[in-house]
Amino acid sequence: MLSFIIPVHNPDYAVFKRCLKSLKDQSLRDWEAVIVFDGYDEQAKIIAETVQIKNLTIIDKNHEGVQQARNYGAKHAKGEYLCFWDCDCLIEPEASGVWIDTFKKQPDIGFIYSGYKFLDEKGAISSEPFDPWLLNCGNYISTCFPMRKELFPGFDEALKSLHDWDLWLTIVKRGGKGMFIPGFAFSTAYPTPENISGKNCTADVWLDRVKAVKIKHGIPDRKVCVSSLGYKHEGIKLAKTLNADYKDVPNYKPNTYDTIIQVGFSLHPNHVIQHAGIFNQPNLRKKIIFWTHGDVCEINNFIAHKALTMYAERLNVQCVMFVEDLSAKKVMESAGFIVKVMQMPLVNTDEISKLPDSPRILVDITEEYRQVMACLEHSLPDMKFDFMTSDKQIKDYSAILALNTEQTMSFPVKRMLVTGRNVISNIQSPFCGFVNDRQEVGKYITSLVNEIRKRVRKDTTQSTKYWADEHKTDKLMEVLK
């Protein structure tokens, strides 16, 4: 059975009725509602009784606060799964059925969560895949999701707020494993200083509340934060490497960071205000940008000269900016930006395994080079070519074929280099099998075929060591100091 434990104090009566009706109408049959009135409320009690929920327990208690009400309700819950539900939440009809099916099929899962929407089409919070490290940087899981009863530690009644963050941190410390299910499981009222979602989390008290949770769980107060609106996966990797925090938008809430590092910075009119806004907070000592391959391509092809001049004037004064190869530096300098060449630190998290027995090439090329693929497949029938997609595994490939008009290094190329794979490219970087694409077409295709045959089984011991050293944190740590 799944127990919904619902504390109630000064609710919006219309929304409370919709909340209970959504639970009653859900597809799951084996559930109960434990409603705890945190202070007597006759009108809310009448609503709870008139909705006619089959398995309903109503508890009246003196007003002490939402955490005390939740803990009190948990003592009366009969289910093997607990879900602490807010009285302004409307569940999606199939959500709880999916939860129970998942718990039964995967006994190692301790709790389940998804995203959620706000009522009246005021937006949504999408959440993200389970990562205990990222949970230490900040909470991304709502209180209103189910857990196995044996994992429930009780809400810390001494904390003034951020009880949801404290709850999930405690469960994870005790070995609980979370599972993210994409989509939205419920809708809820938009947070305000008056309702349960926003109460006690206003900007003026935020830092003290965060500090209390960090002290309790031994989380360091880090001064460096990595951000990325376009390359989140790479941003998280960099933050872990530097032992920094990661936040998509660090200044969404008050913070004590003195350095922000942005991985990627788009100058596209639809994005530039958001990217620039991340640096818009007081007390920043350093603002650092790692321009990516995608940024360099955008600047070279799509941003007006007048806009580039304006952005360069501002960012050159405010930020320390890096690119990862000389070709990117040339493009950025031609656009007016003052940049230095430095590899963004990267720790290899993939196993360095031997090359596949049969040559297999991962293809990461821009549209301008698509026409060469028919020639390569015809000339190299003994090799398999796969275009880059998110599900491709580096260990399955002998090499990567990387071609782009800017001749700059992409994240897939970096990962191939540090995991012992070969690179065939028009990028002029150490241990990259360079092919000049500015020569006559026949010679270019011949050179490309020869370089692939030469590189596909080439020993990568020296290359792997070189690029592992290049991607160490030493140089960036000097900048941070």
Instruction: Identify the pLDDT of residue 121.
Output: 85
Measured between alpha carbons, how far is 67 from 154 in angstroms, rounded to an integer? 9
pLDDT of residue 201: 64
Which class would CATH give 224-344? alpha beta
pLDDT at 448: 93
pLDDT band per the 50, 70, 90 thresholds, residue 203: confident
The hierarchical CATH code for the domain 2-216 is: 3.90.550.10
- Domain 360-468 in CATH 3.40.50? The answer is yes
pLDDT, mean of residues 148-171: 96
Report the distance separating Cα 459 and Cα 464, nearest Å: 10
Delimiting residues of CATH 3.40.50.2020 domain(s) in the chain: 224-344
Query: Average pLDDT of 56-72?
Result: 95
Global confidence as pTM: 0.89
Where do you find CATH 3.90.550.10 in the chain?
2-216
| Residues facing 262 on adjacent strands | 227, 289
Give residue 195's pLDDT: 61
Cα separations in angstroms, 98 against 131, 145, 179, 182, 184: 21, 12, 12, 12, 12
Q: Which pLDDT value is given to residue 194?
A: 64
- Tell me which residue has tokens 């897939």: 412
Average pLDDT over residues 131-157: 97
Write down the pLDDT at residue 391. Answer: 86
**pLDDT tens digits for range 258-299:** 999 999 999 999 999 999 999 999 889 999 999 999 999 999
φ and ψ at residue 288, rounded to 5 degrees: -120, 135
- Reading the block at residue 389, the tokens are 């997609």
Q: What is the 3-state secondary structure (H, E, C) of the chain?
A: CEEEEEEECCCCHHHHHHHHHHHHCCCCCCEEEEEEEECCCHHHHHHHHHCCCCCEEEEEECCCCHHHHHHHHHHCCCCCEEEECCCCEEECCCHHHHHHHHHHHCCCCCEEEEEEEEHHHCCEECCCCCCHHHHHHCCCCCCCCEEEHHHCCCCCCCCCCCHHHHHHHHHHHCCCCEEEEEEEEEEECCCCCCCCCCCCCCHHHHHHHHHHHHHHHCCCCCCEEEECCCCHHHHHHHHHHHCCEECCCHHHCCCCCCEEEEECCCCCCCCHHHHHHCCCCCCCCEEEEECCHHHHHHHHHCCCHHHHHHHHHHHHHHCEEEECCHHHHHHHHHCCCCCEECCCCCCCCCCCCCCCCCCEEEEEECHHHCCHHHHHHHHCCCCEEEECCCCCCHHHCCEEEEECCCCCCCHHHHHHHHCCCEEEECCCCCCCEECCCCCCHHHHHHHHHHHHHHHCCCCCHHHHHHHHHHCCCHHHHHHHC
Whether the predicted pLDDT of 230 surpasses 90: yes
**Confidence at 347, pLDDT banded by 50, 70, 90:** confident
Residue 472 has pLDDT above 80, yes or no: yes
Alpha carbon distance 422, 420 (integer Å): 7
The pLDDT value recorded for residue 283 is: 86
- The band of 199, judged by pLDDT with boundaries at 50, 70 and 90, is low
Torsion of CA 50, 189, 168, 65, to 10 degrees: -60
Q: What is the pLDDT of residue 200?
A: 63
Enumerate residues 6+ apart whose C-beta is below 8 A from 277.
249, 251
Assess contact for 266 and 230: CB atoms under 8 A.
yes
Contacts of 233 (CB under 8 A, 6+ apart): none
| pLDDT tens by residue, 401-442 | 999 989 999 999 999 998 889 999 998 889 999 999 888 988
Q: Is the pLDDT of residue 209 over 80?
A: yes
Lowest mean pLDDT among 98-107, 227-236, 459-468: 459-468
pLDDT classification of 32: cutoffs 50, 70, 90? very high
Model confidence at 312, in pLDDT bands (50, 70, 90)?
very high
| Confidence at 176, pLDDT banded by 50, 70, 90 | very high
Q: Which of 222-226, 388-392, 394-398 has the highest mean pLDDT?
A: 222-226
Instruction: Provide, rounded to the nearest whole percent, the portion of the chain with pLDDT above 90.
Output: 82
Over 90: is that where the pLDDT of 476 sits? yes
- Give the number of other Cβ atoms within 10 Å of residue 422's Cβ: 27
From the number of C-beta atoms within 10 Å of its C-beta (0-12, 13-18, 19+), residue 35 rates as: buried
Average pLDDT score over residue span 177-200? 82
